[in-house]
Amino acid sequence: MTVAMLGYVVNDAFVKKTVEDLALFQAVFIRGLMLVALISLIARARGDHRRIRMLRDRRVGARIGLEAVGTCFFLLGLSNLALADMTAVLQLVPLAITFAAARLLREQVDWIRVATVLAGLVGVLFVIKPGSEGSSPWFLAAFAVVVIVTIRELVTKKISAEIPSLVIALGTGLVITLMGGVVSIFEGWESIETKHLIYLATASGFLSVGYISSVNAVRVGDMSFTAPFRYSILLFAIILQIIVFGDIPDALSLIGSGIVGAAGLFSLTRERTVLATVRRG
């Protein structure tokens, strides 16, 4: 899950650099073409391309559909809300996943796991320092994303182990690319330079890592255990913010990042200790 968050945030950073010059969905479409080509090559090398027909599985189709709908709501909310406010709402995802796993998947979620997730949320709030958009109706789009992502992960957990994660990632990439291409027709295109292609190629590589790692983490690990590690995206975001954009975070952001990192490390250390105790028993 931590690797997935790294993949996602590096992708976001390079897409953000690209859309300083290009239209958003133009960038999404070009990146998507590269992403699909890359995952297809990996799948062929591993022999997973022979299982492409498994995309017809109803759970895989449901996950891909939820991914596409969630992306639409995310872009809709982001277009009408401050980034910090949108991000603040989306940090409800680890909480929602933890409690959904407890209620629907019967995972063992004790008060320490819940406290760890809540501690991570506190750290997030230190970093993003939500603004005062207040009662904007566009917050409904952000809450919709939280619900959709939670349902998506529950569906992912139920996908047969026989279906390779690469196939799921490929299907997701195909749908998002198609969506980007259709919307870009109406949004318009800008002239493309070599640097844009380099940015988007880098973004596609890291996004493929994010897709594959995220699917694997959800399918293999307890959702409630991996939830706190979703906050690690903020640690990576701060590092990239300094390196790529030259923007040094303030003291509150650094304190919040420390809380997030501590919550993740505590969760990992505790789970390993519990597992070791169980094995000895």
Q: What is the pLDDT of residues 136-175, one digit of tens each?
A: 677 788 889 889 988 998 888 888 878 888 888 888 889 9
pLDDT tens readout for residues 33-50: 999 999 999 888 888 777
Between 29 and 169, whose confidence is greater? 29
**pLDDT confidence tier of residue 133, bands split at 50, 70 and 90:** very low
To the nearest whole percent, how much of the chain has pLDDT over 90?
20
CA 160 to chain centre: 21
Q: 148, 66 in Cβ contact below 8 A?
A: yes
What mean pLDDT comes out for the span 252-271? 73
**pLDDT confidence tier of residue 178, bands split at 50, 70 and 90:** very high
Lowest mean pLDDT among 74-83, 111-120, 244-253: 74-83
Q: What is the pLDDT of residue 146?
A: 86
Cα gap 228→236, rounded to integer Å: 14
Between 258 and 180, whose confidence is greater? 180
Ramachandran quadrant class, 47 (left: phi over 0; alpha: psi -120 to 50; beta: rest): left
Cα gap 70→13, rounded to integer Å: 20
Is residue 28 scored above 80 in pLDDT? Answer: yes
- C-alpha atoms less than 13 angstroms from C-alpha of 244 in its C-beta half-sphere: 17
**H helix count then E strand count, the chain:** 12, 0
Residue with structure tokens 């594959």? 212
Q: What is the pLDDT of residue 276?
A: 62
* Nearest CA among 169, 211, 176, 178 for reference residue 72: 176
Is residue 278 scored above 60 in pLDDT? Answer: no
What the block records as the tokens of 236 is 């990576």
What mean pLDDT comes out for the span 57-73? 88
Q: Please tell me the pTM assigned to this model.
A: 0.75
Q: Residue type at 5?
A: M
Vertex 52: Cα angle to 46 and 53 (nearest 5): 145
Q: Phi, psi at residue 21, to the nearest 5°?
A: -120, -35
Between 241 and 171, whose confidence is greater? 171
Domain ranges (residues) in the chain:
2-280
To the nearest whole percent, how much of the chain has pLDDT over 70?
85
Residue with structure tokens 């799921």? 168
